[in-house]
Amino acid sequence: MITEEYLKDNFLTAYFVDNERKNIEIQTTTEDKKSVFTTIIPFKEENPQYQALNKFMTLDQLHESTHEKTKTEHELYKEQALKFAKDAGLTVETDKNLSLIHIWRCRRRG
């Protein structure tokens, strides 16, 4: 159970986990600080767990955290996709930039 007292010593971050912004994932450390624990709570202003979270992170900060997490995940996904494409020989390197032109051309021919 997420409480203000628990979050005071263990809170790490929180963000929405769905596009509808109905659920929040809260990351905290375990009490011994050796592990990270996640808890998903519904976003309802009357929810006591949300009220406890709100003492440490405003709604605006929660939206910003969600945006930053999504942006970071998107960049990591693009990097990984380019790495796979390069490893598979599906890219063309020009002026130190990778291009997926080769994939596009192969799909148009196929």
- Residue pLDDT, tens place only, 57-94: 999 999 999 999 999 999 999 889 888 888 887 776 66
CB 52 within 8 A of CB 2: yes
Q: Which residues pair with 15 in a beta bridge?
A: 25
Q: What are the structure tokens assigned to 57, written together?
A: 């992170």
Cα separation, 86 vs 8, in Å, equals 46
Q: What is the mean pLDDT of residues 27-48?
A: 96
CB 7 within 8 A of CB 17: no
Instruction: List the structure tokens of 106.
Output: 């192969």
Helix ranges (H only) for 1-110 are 4-10, 48-54, 59-87, 101-109
What pTM was estimated for this model as a whole?
A: 0.75
**What is the dihedral angle through the alpha carbons of 73, 24, 45, 48, rounded to the nearest 10 degrees?**
-140
